[in-house]
């Protein structure tokens, strides 16, 4: 098998694994689909998710929204409504700007 076919198989395996994880997460968060039987009595939802994934999810839930890998849906507490925190330059200086500035040509 050449490298190209091996890479395709690896990619397909990753996609299949991701789909399995997403289906498990969907079952845990919004409930099973109609064709999927409900969880067995006494079985914890966290048991369906691998410990590695569960640890990541807990870490995201407890991170500060300014941290690099945080995917928090909540805005930072120090950014007022109608404003946005932007990071500029290689030193990543933080500025709070009005969202109306985003229509300016400098931001496009």
Find out whether 101 and 107 touch, Cβ atoms under 8 Å: yes
Q: Is this model's pTM higher than 0.75 or not?
A: no
Higher model confidence: residue 37 or residue 13?
13
Q: What is the pLDDT of residue 36?
A: 47
> pLDDT value at position 21?
80
Specify which of 2-16, 28-42, 78-92 reaches the highest per-range mean pLDDT. 78-92
Domain extent listing, the chain: 1-62, 68-108
Q: How far is CA 40 from CA 8, 27, 95, in A?
A: 37, 13, 50
Q: What is the pLDDT of residues 21-80, one digit of tens each?
A: 887 777 777 765 555 455 554 455 556 666 776 666 666 555 555 555 555 667 677 888
């Amino acid at each position: 098998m050449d490298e190209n076919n091996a890479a395709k198989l690896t990619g397909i395996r990753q996609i299949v694994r991701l789909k399995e994880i997403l289906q498990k997460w969907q079952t845990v968060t919004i409930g099973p689909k109609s064709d999927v039987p409900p969880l067995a009595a006494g079985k914890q939802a966290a048991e369906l998710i691998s410990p590695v994934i569960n640890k990541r999810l807990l870490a995201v839930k407890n991170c500060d929204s300014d941290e690099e890998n945080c995917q928090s849906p909540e805005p930072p507490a120090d950014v007022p409504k109608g404003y946005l925190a932007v990071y500029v330059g290689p030193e990543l200086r933080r500025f709070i700007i009005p969202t109306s500035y985003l229509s300016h040509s400098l931001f496009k």
